[in-house]
Amino acid sequence: MELLEKVLSGDNIYEAYKKVYSNKGASGIDGVTVDELEEYLKYHLNEIKEQIRNRKYKPSPVRRVYIPKDNGDKRALGIPTAIDRVIQQAIVQVITPIYEEQFSETSYGFRPKRSCEMAIRKALEFYNDGCDWVVDIDLEKFFDTVCHDKLISIIMKTVHDGDLVSLIRKFLVSGVMENGVVAPTKVGTPQGGNLSPLLSNIMLNELDKEHDKRGLKFVRYADDCIIMVKSEKAANRVMDSIVKFIEKKLGLKVNATKSKVDRPKGIKYLGYGFYQNKSGIWKPKPHLKSIQKFERKLKQLTKRSWSISLNDRIKLLNYVIRGWINYFRIADMKWAMDKVTGRLNRRIRCMETVEDLQA
- Tell me: the pLDDT tens digits for 320-356? 999 999 999 999 887 777 777 766 666 666 655 444 4
pLDDT of residue 349: 65
Q: What is the rounded CA–CA span in Å between residue 155 and residue 166? A: 11
Helix segments in the chain, DSSP class H: 3-8, 10-23, 37-53, 82-100, 116-128, 142-145, 148-156, 162-172, 196-213, 232-249, 288-301, 310-327, 334-358
What is the pTM assigned to this prediction? 0.91
SS3 (DSSP) at 135: strand
Give the H/E segment covering residue 226: strand 224-229
Distances 347 to 290, 304, 323, 339, 357 between C-alpha atoms, Å: 20, 9, 20, 13, 15
Q: Residue ranges of the chain with pLDDT lower than 70?
A: 1, 71-72, 342-359
| Local structure of residue 349 (DSSP, 8 states) | H
Phi-psi region of 228 (alpha: psi -120 to 50; beta: other; left: phi over 0): beta
DSSP string covering 269-329: BTTEEEEE-TTS-EEEEE-HHHHHHHHHHHHHHT-TTS---HHHHHHHHHHHHHHHHHHTT
pLDDT of residue 306: 76
pLDDT of residue 280: 96
Q: What is the rounded CA–CA span in Å between residue 50 and residue 290? A: 49
pLDDT of residue 303: 83
Of 200, 118, 113, 114, nearest to 155 by C-alpha is 200
Contacts of 191 (CB under 8 A, 6+ apart): 75, 76, 77, 78, 143
Q: What is the rounded CA–CA span in Å between residue 151 and residue 224? A: 19
The DSSP bridge partners found for residue 338 are none
Q: What is the rounded CA–CA span in Å between residue 177 and residue 155? A: 27
